[in-house]
C-alpha cells in the first residue's frame, strides 16, 4: 500500500500511540500531577502578563488555580461535556488539520512540479487576445465620408475624433476590452477581420471602425516563467492530497452507519 | 563603435540625471530605494496612462477584520486584486469585473496578527483575559461586542499586553513577502503598506495608511502603541527615509475626526508653523477623500453654495455613534485654510492631492452599488443589518430599522493615478507628484492641466503639449500679471457605469484675507450651454426608475472636455482649483437592497446618488513681489 510509504502517515501513527500512552499515565482518574512542566508554563504566562517572574507565593496561588481548573476540566470530560459541542469539535478537527497540512518540503521536487504543470496546463493558459486599431466617431452620418477617405488611402490616425481612447490596443483580452469599451462592444469581436476596417461598431462612447491587427490564440505560459507560482500551487495540491489520503485511511478504521 | 560608446555615455548620464529625486521641501531629497537601470515595460507612455487601485485593504491580520470573520490572507487579497475570487465570511464569492492595476494591503499595525493568535488556544495570547471568547465568535452582536472590548482595552495603559513581538513580526513579514511575491512590473503593482491607527481621547479619528515605495520595509511598523501622536509617525518616517526606506502616509476618514484631522493647532495644541507644514507635506502629500465610511470632500454646512456637497456624508466618529464636528473634518476646508495660511504666514500644511480607496475589512474591495460588499464581514453582510430594509419586528419605540451606522456607508472608492507605466516606482512617483484623482467607485478618468496658452481642445497632440506648456493635477503655477491661465478639463466615462452629466471646477481663493469657494459647471452633457450668470448647466433630465434601477439611456455624455478660463480671476490671490465630474444619477446600494427584498427604499436615505471623480488641485500663487 502506497500510503504506508508516506513518512507523514508513520509520523502520525507513532505520534498517536505516544500521545495516548502519555495521556493514559498522566491522566489516570483521580490523579492530578503538578510537575515542573506545569509550574514553568504558569510562570511564563505570569511573566507575559505582568512582566515579572512569579514570586513563590504567587506561583502557589497560580498552581492552586490550575489544579482547580484541571479538576473541573477532567470532570467536564468525564461527564462528556466535550461531546456534541460544535466549538470543541471544530477546534480539535482544526488542530489535526494543522498537523496534517505541514507538508515537508523534500529535496528535488522539480520533476513532481513539472508533472503537476503538465496535468494542469489549463490553469496556466492565457485567453484569446486581440490587437486592433480603431477610428472613433460620434456622428453616424460621417460613416460614408470616413469609408471614402480610407479607400483613398488617407492616414486613418487623422480620422478619429478626439477622445481618451487609444487609437491602437495591443494584446487585450475580452475582459480588458469590456473594461475599456463596455459590454455590448465585445459582442462584435468575433466579426472582426484581420487587416480590414469593420464597422460601425457601437460602444459606450459612440461608433467605431475597427481593424483587427492580430488575433492571438490562447497559449500556455512556459513553466520557466511561472515556476514559483506553479510550485506554490503544487504544494497546496499536495497538502490536499495528503489530507484526503489521511482521511480515507482513517475512514477505513471506522464503520459508518447511515440510519 | 565610436557612436555606440557615445550612446552608452549619454544613456548612463541620463540614468543618473533622470533618477535625481524631487526635492520635497526642507532641502531633503527623497530616498532612492533601488538603483537599477530603467527598462521600460511595454505599456510605457510618456503621455501617461490612467491606472486604478485600492490603497486601503484589511485582511485577517487586522484585529477587527479577524473579529468580523475575515480569513482572507494578504496573499488572497493581492490575488483578488489581480482578478481572483475570495469568499466573503457570509458565504458568497467576491470577484472584480475588471482587475485593479495597483493595490496595497494596509492592516492595522497595532495588534497585527494578535487576534488570530488569541483564537488559537495553544498560544500565550489566548490566555489573556481579552482573548476570552475569541475562539468562539458567533453572531454579529457577539462579534461587535468583542470588537468594542478590544478597542476599549487598546485605550488603557495596559494596551501593549496584547502585542506579542513574535506574532507581530511573523504577520508583518508575511505581508511584506505577499506584496513582493505579487508585484509584477508592467502588469500589476503590489505596494507594501500598513495602517497607523491613532485616535484622540474622544475617539477622534487620526488614521493614516503608510505606503512604501520599494521592496524592503522596516523591521516593524510604527504603530499607535509606539505613539498616538501622528507627528511622531512623521519623525519615524523621516528616519526611515534617511535609511533609504521611502514612504508616504495618507490620512483617511477625516470626516470622523471630530475636527482633529485638519485643526489649526498641532497635536499638543501649539500654533502651526512652517516646520510643521514642511514635515507634514514631506510625509503626507495625499489624502483619501472617499471610501466605504463616507466621503470627506466637503459637507453641506461648509459648502452651502455647492448643490452636490451632500454626498455620502458619514456624520459619526469612527467606530462610535458619537457625532463628529464638521469644521476641521473635511478636505476642501483644509485646502482653503492651507492657502489662507500660505498668504498670511508663508507656509501651507494642507497642500494635499486626492485619492479614494475602499478600507475593506473583507480582504477584497467595497463592491459596487448593485453588488455591495460593504466592509465589516459578518457584521453587515445582510441588508437588515446595514439598515437598508426593515427589521422583522420593529425595535422598542417603533423604530423600523436596525440601530447601526452602516446605513451611512458607501460602495466606494478608487484611487486613480497618471503614470508612465505600471511599476512601483512609476506609480509611487505619481503619488509624490500628486498626479492622482479619486472616484466614488466607477473608473472615470479625469485629466486636468493649467497653463498659459494651452492648445485648442481638438488638437491632436493635446496631452503632450499640455505637459510641455502647463502643469498637470497636483502641480503649481505662478500667477502672471499680464496673462490669464487656462485650464484643460477632461473626463471620460466608465464604459460600464452611467454616462457623465456635468464637468465642474471647484475654486478656492483668498480674498480680503479670507478663503472663499466657488463651484463652476464648465461643460454640460448633450451639448448644453453653461449659464453665464449662474455657472450652471441646464438639467439634462436624466432619470432613474426606482422600481428596477434602470436609467435613461439617451442622455448624458461619454466624454466632457473644455479649455476653461476663470471669469473671476485675480493674479494677486492665492488660489487652488480642482475638477469634479458627476455621472447621471443611479441607484444607491441601499435602494438595490430594498428593491431586491421587495420593500420601499428607506425614506431618510438618498435613493439615488451621482457617482463622481475628483482631481487633485492645481495651486496658483501670486508672483514674488
Q: What is the DSSP string of A89-123?
A: HHHHHHHHHHHHH-----S--HHHHHHHHHHTGGG
Contacts of A44 in chain B (CB under 8 A): 124
Q: Ranked by mean pLDDT, which of A45-59, A77-91, B331-345, B387-401 comes out on top?
A: B331-345
b/e per residue A64-94 (b: at least 16 CB within 10 A): eebeeeeeeeeeeeeeeeeeeeeeeeebeee
Contacts of A91 in chain B (CB under 8 A): 121, 135
Q: For A87, which of B83, B136, B499 is closest by C-beta distance?
A: B136
CA distance B290 to chain A (A): 22
CA distance A2 to chain B (A): 33
* Contact map slice: A 170-209 vs B, CB within 8 A: 170, 175-176, 178-183, 185, 203-206
Quote the DSSP letter at residue A4. Answer: G
Residue of chain A whose alpha carbon sits nearest to that of B162: A49
What's the length of chain B? Answer: 625
- The β-bridge partners of B283 are none
| CA B12 centroid distance within chain | 37
Grouping H, G, I as helix, E, B as strand and the rest as coil, residue B296 is: coil
User: pLDDT at position B228, please?
Assistant: 95
- Quick check: A204 and B493 CB within 8 A? yes
Contacts of A181 in chain B (CB under 8 A): 495
CA distance B231 to chain A (A): 29
Quote the DSSP letter at residue A162. Answer: P
- Quick check: B493 and A181 CB within 8 A? no
- Quick check: B161 and A175 CB within 8 A? no
| pLDDT of B67 higher than 50 | yes
Judged by a CB distance cut-off of 8 A, whether residue A160 touches chain B is no
Instruction: Report chain B residues touching chain A, CB-CB < 8 A.
Output: 42, 50, 83, 97-98, 121-122, 124, 127-128, 135-136, 161, 181, 443, 445, 447, 457-460, 462, 490, 492-493, 495-496, 499, 558-559, 561
CA distance B50 to chain A (A): 10
Region A174-201: mean pLDDT is 93
Q: For B558, which of A95, A183, A205 is closest by C-beta distance?
A: A205
User: pLDDT at position A103, please?
Assistant: 59
Residue boundaries of the structural domains of chain B: 43-433, 444-621
- Cell readout for B595 is 428593491
Contacts of B499 in chain A (CB under 8 A): 204
CA distance B597 to chain A (A): 27
- What pLDDT band is residue A152 in, cutting at 50, 70 and 90? very high
- Give the residue from B46, B142, B559, B583 with the most A CB atoms within 10 Å of its CB, the best one to mutate: B559
Topology (CATH level 3) of domain A128-217? Chitinase A; domain 3 (3.10.50)
Q: Given the C-alpha cell 489573556, which residue does it identify?
A: B128
CA distance A102 to chain B (A): 17
Q: How far apart are CA B189 and CA B160, in angstroms?
A: 34
| pLDDT of B66 higher than 80 | yes
Residue boundaries of the structural domains of chain A: 2-102, 128-217
Region A142-158: mean pLDDT is 92
CA distance A5 to chain B (A): 31
Region B427-435: mean pLDDT is 98
Q: Where are the alpha helices (DSSP H) in chain A?
A: 7-26, 36-50, 56-78, 86-101, 110-119, 143-151, 174-181, 183-186, 227-252
- What pLDDT band is residue B551 in, cutting at 50, 70 and 90? very high
Please say whether the dihedral angle defined by the alpha carbons of residues B90, B58, B313 and B552, taken in this order, is positive or negative: negative
User: pLDDT at position A122, please?
Assistant: 85
Q: For A163, which of B83, B499, B559 is closest by C-beta distance?
A: B559
- Quick check: A91 and B128 CB within 8 A? no
Residue of chain A whose alpha carbon sits nearest to that of B442: A179
- Give the residue from A171, A180, A204, A235 with the most B CB atoms within 10 Å of its CB, the best one to mutate: A204
Q: How far apart are CA B222 and CA B196, in angstroms?
A: 7
Region B83-111: mean pLDDT is 95
Residue of chain B whose alpha carbon sits nearest to that of A203: B495
Region A181-193: mean pLDDT is 93
B51 contacts B187 by C-beta, under 8 angstroms: no
Q: For B495, which of A87, A203, A228 is closest by C-beta distance?
A: A203
- Give the residue from A85, A87, A131, A162 with the most B CB atoms within 10 Å of its CB, the best one to mutate: A162
Region B332-351: mean pLDDT is 97
- Quick check: A181 and B495 CB within 8 A? yes
- Quick check: A178 and B495 CB within 8 A? yes
ipTM field: 0.83
Region B247-273: mean pLDDT is 97
- What pLDDT band is residue B572 in, cutting at 50, 70 and 90? very high
**Sheet of A207-216, strands arranged across:** A168-173, A129-137, A207-216, A197-202
Least confident of A105-114, B155-164, B184-193, B418-427: A105-114
| pLDDT of B51 higher than 90 | yes
- Quick check: B496 and A48 CB within 8 A? no
Please say whether the dihedral angle defined by the alpha carbons of residues B287, B289, B290 and B293, taken in this order, is positive or negative: positive
- Quick check: A179 and B495 CB within 8 A? yes
Region B75-82: mean pLDDT is 96
User: pLDDT at position A239, please?
Assistant: 81
- What pLDDT band is residue A3 in, cutting at 50, 70 and 90? low
- Quick check: A162 and B124 CB within 8 A? no
CA distance A112 to chain B (A): 22
Residue of chain B whose alpha carbon sits nearest to that of A49: B161
Residue of chain A whose alpha carbon sits nearest to that of B460: A162
Q: How far apart are CA A173 and CA A189, in angstroms?
A: 11
CA distance B516 to chain A (A): 33
B268 burial level (CB within 10 Å; 0-12, 13-18, 19+):
exposed
- Give the residue from B121, B139, B183, B558 with the most A CB atoms within 10 Å of its CB, the best one to mutate: B558
- What pLDDT band is residue A25 in, cutting at 50, 70 and 90? low
Q: How far apart are CA B122 and CA B120, in angstroms?
A: 6
CA distance A193 to chain B (A): 24
- Give the residue from A136, A164, A227 with the most B CB atoms within 10 Å of its CB, the best one to mutate: A164
Amino acid at each position: 500500500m502506497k500510503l504506508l510509504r508516506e513518512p507523514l502517515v508513520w509520523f502520525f501513527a507513532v505520534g498517536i500511540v505516544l500521545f495516548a500512552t502519555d495521556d493514559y499515565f498522566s491522566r489516570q482518574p483521580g490523579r492530578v500531577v503538578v510537575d515542573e512542566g506545569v509550574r514553568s508554563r504558569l510562570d511564563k504566562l505570569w511573566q507575559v502578563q505582568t512582566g515579572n517572574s512569579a514570586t513563590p507565593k504567587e506561583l502557589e496561588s497560580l498552581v492552586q488555580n490550575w489544579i482547580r481548573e484541571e479538576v473541573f476540566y477532567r470532570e467536564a470530560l468525564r461527564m462528556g461535556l466535550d461531546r456534541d459541542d460544535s466549538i470543541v469539535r471544530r477546534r480539535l478537527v482544526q488542530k489535526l488539520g494543522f498537523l496534517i497540512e505541514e507538508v515537508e518540503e523534500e529535496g528535488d521536487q522539480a520533476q513532481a512540479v513539472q508533472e503537476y504543470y503538465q496535468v494542469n496546463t489549463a490553469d496556466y493558459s492565457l485567453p484569446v487576445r486581440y490587437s486592433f486599431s480603431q477610428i472613433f466617431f460620434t456622428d453616424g452620418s460621417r460613416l460614408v465620408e470616413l469609408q471614402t477617405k480610407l479607400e483613398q488611402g488617407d492616414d486613418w490616425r487623422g480620422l478619429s475624433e478626439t477622445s481618451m481612447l487609444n487609437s491602437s490596443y495591443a494584446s487585450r483580452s475580452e475582459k480588458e476590452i469590456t473594461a475599456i469599451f463596455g459590454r455590448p462592444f465585445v459582442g462584435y469581436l468575433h466579426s472582426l477581420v484581420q487587416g480590414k476596417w469593420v464597422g460601425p461598431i457601437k460602444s459606450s462612447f459612440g461608433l467605431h471602425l475597427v481593424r483587427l491587427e492580430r488575433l492571438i490564440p490562447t497559449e500556455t505560459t512556459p513553466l520557466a516563467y511561472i515556476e514559483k507560482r506553479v510550485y506554490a500551487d503544487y504544494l497546496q495540491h499536495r497538502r490536499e492530497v495528503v489530507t484526503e489520503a489521511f482521511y480515507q485511511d482513517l475512514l477505513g478504521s471506522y464503520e459508518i452507519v447511515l440510519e | 563603435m565610436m557612436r555606440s560608446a557615445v550612446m552608452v555615455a549619454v544613456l548612463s548620464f541620463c540614468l543618473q540625471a533622470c533618477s535625481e529625486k524631487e526635492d520635497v521641501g526642507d532641502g531633503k531629497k527623497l530616498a532612492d530605494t533601488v538603483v537599477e537601470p530603467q527598462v521600460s515595460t511595454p505599456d510605457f507612455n510618456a503621455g501617461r496612462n490612467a491606472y486604478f487601485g485600492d490603497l486601503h485593504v484589511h485582511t485577517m491580520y487586522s484585529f477587527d477584520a479577524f473579529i468580523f470573520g475575515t480569513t482572507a490572507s494578504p496573499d488572497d487579497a493581492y490575488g483578488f486584486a489581480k482578478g481572483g475570487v475570495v469568499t466573503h465570511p457570509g458565504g458568497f464569492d467576491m470577484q472584480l469585473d475588471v482587475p485593479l492595476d495597483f493595490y496595497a494591503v494596509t492592516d492595522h499595525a497595532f495588534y497585527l496578527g494578535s487576534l488570530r493568535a488569541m483564537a488559537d488556544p495553544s498560544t500565550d495570547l489566548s490566555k489573556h483575559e481579552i482573548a476570552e471568547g475569541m475562539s468562539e465568535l458567533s453572531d454579529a452582536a457577539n462579534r461587535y461586542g468583542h470588537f468594542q472590548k478590544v478597542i476599549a482595552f487598546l485605550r488603557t495603559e495596559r494596551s501593549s499586553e496584547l502585542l506579542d513581538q513574535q506574532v507581530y513580526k511573523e504577520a508583518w513579514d508575511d505581508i511584506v513577502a505577499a506584496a513582493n511575491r505579487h508585484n509584477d512590473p508592467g502588469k500589476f503593482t503590489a505596494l507594501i503598506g500598513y495602517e497607523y491607527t491613532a485616535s484622540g481621547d474622544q475617539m477622534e479619528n487620526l488614521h493614516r495608511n503608510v505606503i512604501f515605495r520599494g521592496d524592503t520595509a522596516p523591521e516593524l511598523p510604527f504603530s499607535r502603541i509606539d505613539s498616538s501622536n501622528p507627528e511622531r509617525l512623521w519623525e519615524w518616517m523621516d528616519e526611515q527615509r534617511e535609511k533609504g526606506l521611502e514612504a508616504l502616509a495618507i490620512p483617511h476618514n477625516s470626516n470622523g475626526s471630530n475636527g482633529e484631522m485638519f485643526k489649526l493647532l498641532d497635536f499638543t495644541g501649539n500654533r502651526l508653523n512652517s516646520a510643521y507644514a514642511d514635515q507634514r507635506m514631506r510625509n503626507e502629500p495625499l489624502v483619501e477623500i472617499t471610501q466605504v465610511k463616507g466621503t470627506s470632500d466637503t459637507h453641506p454646512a461648509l459648502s452651502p453654495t455647492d448643490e452636490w456637497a451632500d454626498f455620502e456624508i458619514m456624520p459619526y466618529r469612527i467606530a462610535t455613534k458619537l457625532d463628529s464636528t464638521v469644521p476641521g473634518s473635511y478636505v476642501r476646508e483644509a485646502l482653503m485654510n492651507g492657502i489662507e495660511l500660505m498668504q498670511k504666514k508663508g507656509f501651507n500644511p494642507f497642500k494635499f492631492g486626492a485619492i479614494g480607496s475602499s478600507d475593506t475589512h473583507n480582504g477584497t474591495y467595497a463592491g459596487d452599488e448593485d453588488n455591495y460588499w460593504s466592509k465589516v464581514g459578518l457584521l453587515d453582510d445582510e441588508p437588515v443589518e446595514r439598515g437598508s430594509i426593515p427589521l422583522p419586528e420593529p425595535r422598542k419605540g417603533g423604530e423600523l430599522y436596525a440601530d447601526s451606522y452602516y446605513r451611512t456607508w458607501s460602495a466606494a472608492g478608487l484611487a486613480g493615478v497618471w503614470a508612465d507605466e505600471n511599476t512601483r516606482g512609476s506609480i509611487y512617483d505619481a503619488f509624490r507628484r500628486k498626479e492622482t484623482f479619486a472616484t466614488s467607485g466607477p473608473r472615470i478618468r479625469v485629466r486636468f492641466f493649467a497653463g498659459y496658452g494651452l492648445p485648442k481642445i481638438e488638437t491632436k497632440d493635446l496631452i503632450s503639449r499640455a505637459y510641455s506648456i502647463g502643469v498637470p493635477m497636483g502641480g503649481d503655477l505662478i500667477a502672471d500679471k499680464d496673462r490669464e491661465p487656462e485650464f484643460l478639463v477632461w473626463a471620460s466615462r466608465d464604459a460600464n457605469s452611467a454616462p457623465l452629466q456635468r464637468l465642474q471646477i471647484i475654486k478656492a481663493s483668498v480674498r480680503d484675507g479670507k478663503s472663499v469657494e466657488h463651484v463652476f459647471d464648465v461643460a454640460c452633457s448633450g451639448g448644453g450651454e453653461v449659464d453665464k450668470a449662474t455657472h450652471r448647466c441646464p438639467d439634462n433630465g436624466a432619470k432613474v426608475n426606482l422600481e428596477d434601477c434602470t436609467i435613461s439611456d439617451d442622455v448624458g455624455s461619454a466624454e466632457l472636455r473644455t479649455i476653461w478660463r476663470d471669469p473671476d480671476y485675480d493674479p494677486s490671490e492665492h488660489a487652488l482649483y480642482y475638477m469634479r465630474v458627476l455621472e447621471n444619477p443611479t441607484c444607491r446600494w441601499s435602494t438595490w437592497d430594498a428593491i431586491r427584498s421587495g420593500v420601499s427604499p428607506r425614506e431618510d436615505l438618498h435613493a439615488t446618488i451621482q457617482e463622481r471623480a475628483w482631481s487633485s488641485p492645481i495651486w496658483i500663487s501670486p508672483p514674488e513681489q
